[in-house]
Amino acid sequence: MVTSTLTNTAPAPDRFGLAGRPRQVLALYATVLAAAIALITGGLLIPGPVPGDAPLSVFGGLGVAAAVVAGGQLARLRFRLGRGTVSVSWGEAAFIIGSALVPPGWLPLATFAGAAGAWLLISWLSDHRSIADIVHLAASLTVGAAGAAAVSTLVGAGSGAGDTRWLAGMVAGACAYLVITLGLATLTLALHRDASAGQILGRALNAKIPMLVGNVLIALLGLWVLLREPLWLLAFPPALWLLQRTYRHHLVAEEERRVWAAFAKATAALPGVVEADVVTAGLSGAMDVFGARRVEIELRRPGGGLRRYYEDAPGQDVAASGLPGPVITRTMTVAGTTVGELTVWLSEPTLPVTRDELAVSAYGDALAGALHDAASHERLVQLEARVARDDVQDQLTGLLNRSALLGDGDRALRAVARERHVGLMLVDLRRFREVNDTLGHRSGDEVLTVIAQRITDLARDGELVARIGDDEFAVLMPAVLALTDSASRLQEAPNPLPQVVRRARDLAEQIARPMEVASVRLSVEASVGVVVSRAGLGDAAELIRRAGLALQHAKDLGLTVGTYDSARDLGSTDRLALLAELRDALEVTDQIVLALQPAVDLETGAPTGVEALTRWKHPRRGQLSPGEFIPMVERSELLGAFTRYVLDRSLAAAASWARAGFDLPVSVNISARSLLDPTLPAQVADLLRRNHTPPDQLVLEITESVAVSDLEIVDEVLAGLRDTGVQLSVDDFGTGYSSLTFLTRVCVDELKVDRSFVDGMIDSPAAEAAVRGAVELGGRLGARVVAEGVETAEQRVALIELGCTVAQGYHFCQPLPDDKIVYALRQLAEAAPAKIVPLRADDAS
Ligand code: C2E
Ligand code: MG
Ligand code: MG
């Protein structure tokens, strides 16, 4: 007469609790079938005798037995197992007491009625379980009761109530009840995949064994009291209450041990390097620790949004079913920063809810830490990726950068057959600095981005486009192909240079297309240096270097496209070495020297001034003319020092001929770029002072330049120079782009008509007209007009006829070293009166 129940009380999602769970349906059918057989065979075949003097009628006994079974179920204790809850009840006690009230064959019926009634009541009051679950539970217990009745009947056959055999029968029945109900519950839970069968059995036995012993003892004692001293039954309720408390305490202690073990395991699994992994571990860990129905993690995104992750227990759909149960939400924070929220839908609590709340808080803290670590790690990985990307990518345009072009370019070049041609176009934007200066750097960036896109659009497959300097782009062409007319196929021509030059021109044209930036319509012009070479002859760096020389050549000549010429390369290969040597040369006095060329009165030939031209007596390379080193100086930071040096030497030379009695000004050539130096006027004034030279004895010759003429600073410097009292001269007048504009912006004392016009004026009416125009303009501006490069008497006569008064050229005097200038001036001066030329050209020969 000893029974016990062990039931799976995992809640079900639908009314019958069976949707999509075929194995559970099978288990349900099997159990119900077994219960039905038990009911029929028990009731019809083996009702058996009621032991002892049954105090009640059979039907009365049946009712009381069912009530006892129901009471045993209602006083159940629950504990979490896997992701469900398991109930343990007073089933064994109910079985033993029931055995004393009805024949053993009726026990299944009493159990079915009592269990079904109790679970319907539980379901109605709190659990809201499905009909199928209730039927399944009642059927399981019925099968257990039938088995127990059969075993106790067999063991205790022929015994009288209360004798040893009867007692043995009761104990054996109670054990059979436990084994059968436990077996069925294990099967059901295992089918739910809530936990492994071994785990379920282990935990259930641990909870159940002490209860079985207590149940059997209390039931036997109860029977004994009922039969012998019914009054003592009054002492039972407190005893039962105490026993229930003890069981409960045992379960709670066990549950706490389990929770912390699961907690330790779950938090150990939390750390991860990817947020998604941590979230997955966090969800499944929380499900295990809390035996939850659902766990939800809501994370705050850096941009302000939220991302929600959740996991439901198998067969659960909390959102859909809205199953009740305690819900605990905790905000997860790390060092005061909110990471997100953790919400746990608990199944029936076995621990007091406050302890669950504490556990959820602690779990949330561990999870927040792990998420924070993962996020930091992810950011670190992203940062590393960005650093790696920045290593190869230009941040502004997304093009390759210089080092990537060198690396990728070399790889691409190595893949090309040695005899094929490869090429490189180097693009430099003209006057890009002005865009930055006038429209601001943001607009400058926008212009660069547009141009980068235009270059990319024109690049062919396999070509590498890079930004290798502020306003410098390169297109590396691992194949230099052109459309052949015959088959419209791309093919390499025997000499591919002209095609590449054509492409470079296209490129420059595309770049120069007007664009609108900061509401300003502008167009940026570009110079392109082009090199084409056999693939085997050099690496990407060499191609860039050669294209750089070609680009410089284009800029020097004011061309759009320049090509690489190996002959020019010899002079400029070691430009950098030359710069270093120039630094040393400026420290001594015998390397950068002056060649002095007098300017003369065209009619008398008397000297009117002297121009200082520089030469570099290079210890190894021999004498270098200004054209060979001045362009390099102009692009280096040595320009300031060089200009000071030349000015100082020129003023010293002027002092030397002044001492010899020639009160003549010295003309010094100033690079246009020096006009960007706001300290130039002060430096000039200082040098004049130190050389004791009156300011009007210095003429500064400036070749106006497109690059600087528009800038405000140039106006300021020119005005400053004027204020010092020095004379200003426009050199090479007529060759620049904006000679006339230049004259409107600054008041000049002298125009030097370029040699090319003087050279051509005899044969070319246009050249002659240019000289005439310059002379007239000079007259109107009150400026002296000097003709440069006069080489013949014929030119001299022609110039005099045009009204030009001063000239310079080999016809009068070559540029001379400074120790010869005084002698030359003296000769010119002495010869002057005799050299008045006739005014008719035909007499000049
Ligand atoms: P420039 O100022 O126009 O100087 C005149 C150039 O013509 C000089 O060349 C001179 O030697 C040359 N020349 C003079 N008379 C004749 C002639 O009858 N026929 C021919 N064919 N040439 C003649 P150089 O010395 O080679 O200087 C070239 C240019 O270099 C100069 O042109 C000047 O612009 C620049 N330069 C020279 N020295 C300096 C300097 O110290 N600083 C700067 N910034 N530029 C300089
Ligand atoms: Mg000059
Ligand atoms: Mg000149």
SS3 call for 51: coil
Distance 388 CA to ligand 3 centre (A): 52
Residue with CA nearest ligand 1 atom 21: 789
In short, whether 598's Cβ falls inside 6 Å of ligand 1 is no
Q: State the CATH number of the domain containing residue 137.
A: 1.10.1760
Q: State the CATH number of the domain containing residue 805.
A: 3.20.20.450
Q: State the CATH number of the domain containing residue 528.
A: 3.30.70.270
Q: Could you identify the atom of ligand 1 that is nearest to the CA of residue 732?
A: 3
> For 532-598, what is the HEC assignment?
EEEHHHCCHHHHHHHHHHHHHHHHHHCCCEEECCHHHHHHHCCHHHHHHHHHHHCCCCCCEEEEEEE
Ligand 1 probe mutation, 591, 602, 613, most atoms within 8 A of CB: 613
Ligand 1 probe mutation, 592, 623, 669, 799, most atoms within 8 A of CB: 669
Ligand nearest to the CA of 729: 2
What are the b/e assignments for 128-166, b being 16+ CB within 10 Å? Answer: ebbebbbbbbbbbbbbbbbbbbbbbbebbeeeebeeeeb
Model confidence pLDDT, tens digit, residues 294-334 = 889 998 887 778 888 888 876 555 554 555 567 889 999 88
- Please name the residue ranges forming H helices in 75-163: 91-101, 107-122, 131-155
Q: Which domain holds residue 428?
A: 402-564
Amino acid type, 49:
P
Token pair, residue 660, equals: 């010899």
Distance 731 CA to ligand 3 centre (A): 5
How far is residue 59's CA from residue 48's CA, in Å, rounded to a whole number?
A: 14
Model confidence pLDDT, tens digit, residues 713-745 = 888 999 999 999 999 999 988 876 556 777 877
pLDDT of residue 5: 33
How far is residue 510's CA from residue 493's CA, in Å, rounded to a whole number?
A: 24
Distance 774 CA to ligand 1 centre (A): 20
pLDDT of residue 839: 42
Give the list of residues 6+ apart from residue 33 with CB closer than 8 angstroms, or none: none
Token pair, residue 845, equals: 């020969």
SS3 call for 334: strand
One domain, residues 322 and 219: no
One domain, residues 320 and 448: no
SS3 call for 612: strand
Q: State the CATH number of the domain containing residue 360.
A: 3.30.450.40
How far is residue 377's CA from residue 385's CA, in Å, rounded to a whole number?
A: 12
One domain, residues 758 and 805: yes
Give ∠ CA 640-645-648 in degrees, rounded to 5. Answer: 125
**Contact of 546 with 531, CB cutoff 8 Å:** yes
Average per-residue pLDDT in the chain? 83
Token pair, residue 29, equals: 């059918």
Q: Which helix (H) or strand (E) holds 630?
A: helix 626-634
Question: Which residues face 669 on adjacent strands?
Answer: 701
Distance 803 CA to ligand 3 centre (A): 20
Decide which of 338, 360, 387 is a domain's last residue.
Answer: 387
- How large a percentage of the chain has pLDDT more than 70? 84
Residue 237 lies in a domain: no
What are the b/e assignments for 234-270, b being 16+ CB within 10 Å? Answer: eeeeeebeebbeebeebbbeebeebbeebbeebbebb
Q: Could you identify the atom of ligand 1 that is nearest to the CA of residue 595?
A: 25
One domain, residues 188 and 327: no
If you search the block for the tokens 């390369």, which residue do you land on? 569
Residue 169 lies in a domain: yes
One domain, residues 631 and 779: yes
In short, whether 630's Cβ falls inside 6 Å of ligand 1 is yes
One domain, residues 155 and 61: yes
One domain, residues 328 and 285: yes
Distance 486 CA to ligand 1 centre (A): 52
Provide the sign of the torsion angle of the four alpha carbons 614, 598, 655, 643, taken in this order: negative
SS3 call for 794: helix
Model confidence pLDDT, tens digit, residues 194-252 = 567 777 777 777 777 878 888 888 888 887 787 777 777 777 778 788 888 887 787 77
Model confidence pLDDT, tens digit, residues 518-575 = 888 888 999 999 999 888 777 888 899 889 999 998 988 888 999 998 767 655 556 6
Ligand nearest to the CA of 646: 1
Residue 307 lies in a domain: yes
pLDDT of residue 184: 82
Decide which of 205, 228, 251 is a domain's last residue.
Answer: 228
Half-sphere exposure of 367 (CA within 13 A, CB side): 33
Token pair, residue 827, equals: 């000769």
pLDDT of residue 449: 95
For the segment 406-424, the average pLDDT, to the nearest whole number, is 88
Distance 17 CA to ligand 3 centre (A): 103
Phi-psi region of 335 (alpha: psi -120 to 50; beta: other; left: phi over 0): left
In short, whether 837's Cβ falls inside 6 Å of ligand 1 is no
Token pair, residue 266, equals: 């779950």
One domain, residues 217 and 150: yes
Residue 317 lies in a domain: yes
Q: Which helix (H) or strand (E) holds 204?
A: helix 197-228
Give the list of residues 6+ apart from residue 637 with CB closer than 8 angstroms, or none: none
How far is residue 656's CA from residue 784's CA, in Å, rounded to a whole number?
A: 25
Domain count, the chain: 4
Q: Which of 338-352, 745-759, 774-788 has the lowest mean pLDDT?
A: 338-352
One domain, residues 170 and 54: yes
pLDDT of residue 261: 86
Which backbone phi and psi does 729 adopt, to 5 degrees?
-130, 140
In short, whether 701's Cβ falls inside 6 Å of ligand 1 is yes
One domain, residues 531 and 634: no
One domain, residues 464 and 375: no
One domain, residues 65 and 164: yes
- Angle between helix 626-634 and helix 575-585 axes, rounded to 10 deg: 90
683-690's contacts with Cβ under 8 Å and 24+ in sequence apart are 683/640, 683/643, 683/644, 683/647, 684/647, 684/721, 684/724, 684/726, 685/724, 687/644, 687/647, 687/648, 687/651, 688/651, 688/724, 688/726, 690/648
How far is residue 314's CA from residue 311's CA, in Å, rounded to a whole number?
A: 9
Decide which of 564, 586, 620 is a domain's last residue.
Answer: 564
Give the list of residues 6+ apart from residue 652 with CB closer than 8 angstroms, or none: 691
DSSP tag of 159: P
**Contact of 781 with 748, CB cutoff 8 Å:** yes
**Residues surrounding ion ligand 3 at CB below 5 Å:** 731-732, 788
How far is residue 642's CA from residue 673's CA, in Å, rounded to a whole number?
A: 12
Say how many C-beta atoms besides its own lie within 10 A of residue 834's C-beta.
8
25 vs 428 pLDDT, higher one: 428
pLDDT of residue 837: 47
